[in-house]
Structure 1
Amino acid sequence: MEESGIVVSSSSTLVYTFTFVVFGLCMLWEMFAPRRADSAGVAWRWSNNFSLGLVNWYLSAVANTLLVLWVAAWTDRREFGILQMLGWGPVAGFLILLASTQLLGYWVHVAFHRVPWLWPIHAVHHSDTQVDVSTSYRHHPLEPLLTLPISAPLVFLLGVSLEAAAAYRLFAVLATVFSHSNVRIPEAIERRLRWLVLTPDFHRVHHSSEPRFTNSNYGSLVPWFDYLFGSARHWDYAEHERRELGLEYLREPADSRFDNLLVQPLSVVGETARGEREKA
């Protein structure tokens, strides 16, 4: 038991270290090859986004990573689960875990957009008027608490090995930060890459202030299920530099202040109710 704890601790440390490395590299990429011009108030956005991200770090990154790795170590010790019984290795385990979590995560993301009491929570992420590496940390604390139970049960039932689970968490960090980065990728490369991985251009469409685009491109790590279920949308390459991002409301700098972000779901409820009244 003690040996498993050491292995889990080492694996989680690797994931946390990798998080900072990926963030640093993407931040440098943004500095030298930005996709969109820097907007005024970037220091304000970053300070508040990372303040919120610090809260989520313990609720999501630490708790989720430790839980997934601990469950994987448990299945390894007891040779429990479907993959363990079949004798499939870590590569198969990683791919199956990725596909299964993303299929489930796709519909959870759809629910966050369509279920009235979930959208105000998720809207905190969408209310950022620009999208860059800091946006990947901008989630209301209730959101990671609600999504926490997704990965660990799948790891348990599938019997995913510790190596595969650690690889999945590393990929999740890379895909999440990369997809929110304000970085330029040559058009010819991006057009091909977006069929396989979640590129910043593909995910930026999801952060449009226009609802028809906000309600598309639901993939969080890969775009596969958007193509499968017909929810993938694209902009012309040049459009990304001029499209408005965020929401149609809550666009003032004060709306992104840390304390206001914590209570922002209540503001979204009010804006939604007002919109419904105006339609009536």
Structure 2
Amino acid sequence: MEKIIAHEPTIRMAAFFSVLLVMALWEIAAPRRRVEIPRLVRWSNNLGLVVLDAFLVRLVFPVVAVGAAVVAQDNGWGLLNQIDLPVWVGVVLAVLAFDLAIYLQHVLFHAVPALWRLHRVHHADLEFDVTTGVRFHPLEILISMAIKLLLVLALGPPALAVLIFEVLLNATSLFNHANLRLPGRVDALLRLVVVTPDMHRVHHSIIPSETNSNFGFNLPWWDWVLGTYLAQPSAGHKRMTIGVKQFRTRRDLWLDRLLVQPFQGEASQYPINRRSKRSE
């Protein structure tokens, strides 16, 4: 177990690039939507953002989530470190707790206008494919990491659970953002246990009421239970418009524009609380 934890960066990177490659090839073989923008334009800038995000996380945080779990366990910090549970039970509970926390964090980034400004960089992609799943503004990544570290210290999860969740989160984000065509029955079955590309694509609709649905990354259950599930987009998957209303040019896809985008324009009608105020 200690060897696995010690090789955490290698395990995560190997899983990330493996899933990225499989999804990219699958998209070419069986695309759900027609590709209108050259992949080189979008992929180079989206993946460039990933490199910058990774560099800044390592620069700002001397310890990341798995390391924080080891520190918490060594010092007896956190709820699960106060309870005598079988290892597998602790792992399952921690993974579920992390997934619910990611769901709630996602809702928060849609509800608070200042946070939405950061998160809309992810939504402003003009197409929806595997690289959209890693397109996040550096400030959002840093805030997310801070939240995750606080959760690790409060929960006290097994380090293995954190590693499993990190790998799952990266893999499922790549999968559910991929431009994949799945048979209807397969999609329906998969939605029982995991967020599928068709389910998450609704969340990237240009229509605010559809944008503010299907917040889950791994498990679909939180959307069902908390009333944010929407089965299909109103225009259908092939005809729906992806993105947000404010940033619609190909120049907006470039890395320099992505970095300054949070500081441009209004938060518009997308934040959940603004939408509710207008409907009153």
| TM-score (ref. length: structure 2) | 0.86
TM-score normalised to the size of structure 1?
A: 0.86
1:198 is matched by which residue type in structure 2? V
* Counterpart selection for 2:55 from 55, 58, 72: 58
Find the residue that maps to 2:266 and give its secondary structure: helix
* 1:60 CA drift (Å): 4.9
Match of 1:198 among 181, 184, 195: 195
Percentage identity across paired residues of the two chains: 33
Correspondence for 1:178? 175
Three-state SS of the structure 1 residue aligned to 2:103 is helix
- Is 1:145 the counterpart of 2:162 in the alignment? no
Equivalent residue for 1:256? 253
Change (3 A) 1:120 1:238: closer
| 1:161 aligns to 2:158 (yes or no) | yes
Cα pair 2:195 2:220 within 8 Å, conserved: yes
Kindly indicate whether the alpha-carbon contact (under 8 Å) linking 1:52 and 1:139 is maintained by their aligned counterparts in 2. Answer: yes
Residue of structure 2 aligned with 1:214, choices 186, 211, 214: 211
Deviation string, structure 1 residues 16-60 (Cα, Å, up to 9, x no partner): 111111111111111111111222332211111111121112345
Partner residue of 1:11 out of 5, 8, 12: 8
Q: 2 CA distance for matches of 1:95 and 1:64? A: 26
2:73 aligned with 1:71: no
| 1:221 CA displacement | 2.4
Deviation at 1:91?
A: 2.9
Native 8 Å contact 2:233 2:240 kept in 1: no
Unaligned runs of 5+ residues in structure 2 are: none
Aligned to 1:37: 34
d(CA) in 1 for partners of 2:260, 2:234:
36
Residues 5 and 160 of structure 2 are in contact (CA less than 8 Å); yes or no, is this contact kept in structure 1? no
Superposed CA RMSD in Å reads 2.9
Q: Deviations over 1:64-115 (max 9, x none)?
A: 8951111222344455544344332443233222222232222222221121
Partner of 1:107: 104
Report the number of matched residues.
272
The equivalent of 1:20 in structure 2 is 17
Identify the residue that residue 184 of structure 2 maps to in structure 1: 187
Which residue of structure 2 aligns with residue 245 of structure 1? 242
Cα 1:217–1:236, aligned 2, differ >3 Å: closer, same or farther? closer
